[in-house]
Amino acid sequence: MEVKLVDHMGSDLSVVNAARVSFAKESEWDAIPEGGQLEGLLKYEDERLIKYLAKHNHWSPFGHASIQFHIKAPVFVARQLVKHQVGLVWNEVSRRYVDDEVELYEPAEWRLAAENKKQGSSEETTKYSVASTYQWCKQTYQNLLSAGIAPEMARMVLPQSMMTEWYWSGTLYAFARVCNLRCKPDAQRETQVVADQISDIAKELFPYSWEALRDE
């Protein structure tokens, strides 16, 4: 599973000035650090403003900063994450058009079911091989294609463990909401892996805003 930064727009200062425009004011970065870096240091009052905005759920200034990711993960992870819609845009590879080699995700260990829970897993693990099942799925898929079956139908035999890729763009506030839910210990472990990578990238790009928005 992999999360790559494609692009981003804005900075912590963008968030600050989106809020200060309400009073027809504008701020600037604090003293430029050694090495000529133009961004990264906010004035104390601007740092306080970001914390105030996040604490009191004034979310609109955080909507002026955005990030675009290219993510690769199993289908079952993607289907959990695509449920987050507000402030986010999603474009995914389609097996209606793509019929190249299928990649399937297989964990090193399988977590056992949690006791007294309808969902989730325990910390206890076991070994279990699904190699033969995976081989059957991939071979049957190729057999269907070779028989002239349309890719949009042949894909029906592929499991949820199939790796997929998508571009995911959205506002800083929207991704903070995703991570506040999906980085939690009760989220599925594989989904946490993706959310943690998103969080690490966002924190590097927007350190003040991300710290204020995250429930950590």
| Strand partners for 121 | 113
Domains located in the chain, CATH noted: 2-95+162-213 (3.30.1360.170), 96-113+122-157 (no CATH)
Q: What is the pLDDT of residues 97-141, one digit of tens each?
A: 988 889 999 999 999 998 877 778 988 999 999 999 999 999 999
Produce one character per residue of 73-85: b if its CB has 16 or more CB atoms within 10 Å, e if not: bbbbbbebbeebe
Hey, CA dihedral for 197, 201, 204, 209, is it positive or negative?
negative
Q: What is the pLDDT of residues 63-91, one digit of tens each?
A: 999 999 999 999 999 999 999 999 999 99
Alpha helix stretches (DSSP H) within 35-107: 44-55, 75-81
Asked whether the predicted pLDDT for residue 36 surpasses 80, the reply is no
For the chain, give the mean pLDDT: 93
Which residues are within 8 A (CB) of 98 and not within 5 positions of it... i.e. 6 or more apart?
A: 151
Positions marked catalytic: 182
Q: Which helix (H) or strand (E) holds 198?
A: helix 189-205
Give the three-state DSSP class for 210. Answer: helix
